[in-house]
Amino acid sequence: MAGSAAYRYVTILKYALFPRSSITSAFFATVHIEAKKLGLVGVDTGVTIKRNVERLWPHVYSRRHVALPLDCRLFTALRRSYGILAAIAASQLRRATRLNIIGLLSAFEVGARNILIVLSSTAAAGLIVGSVDVPVSASASSSGFVGIVGGSLFAG
């Protein structure tokens, strides 16, 4: 979308932030109101957010270098290529996240399998848009042509 709109991706993200946050807020408000109407209450698990953060922080902090490729993917012209290369390079910085060739090929295989659902959904959406858009434009161009020739079947 950023390529066809001639805007930077970050600009489109800024414009999409308000609608997305308002939709999310409306969703949460609707669920909250419905839960209050039905008298539902939350489940007390005894685990607090602070306890979870304290438990996960050392793990996240020790792997902070893996977030470096995000900068490369957001702010370069060849986001996908450089992002993949930067992710591979960042994973090699520490022994705990280092990939051997088998692990790298396995990651590519899993990525290819996971992208199939996105690929098929996008293809289906393209077929739907194409089947709706093409007949409408064909109808508009044919009606324009009929108007040019004065409603006659023969243009001569």
pLDDT at residue 149, rounded to an integer: 63
pLDDT at residue 62, rounded to an integer: 79
Query: Average pLDDT for consecutive 10-residue bins of the chain (156 residues)?
Result: 66 82 90 90 74 79 73 58 75 83 88 86 82 61 63 55
- Looking at the chain, how many residues does it have? 156
> pTM of the prediction?
0.40
Count other Cβ atoms within 10 Å, centred on residue 53. Answer: 10
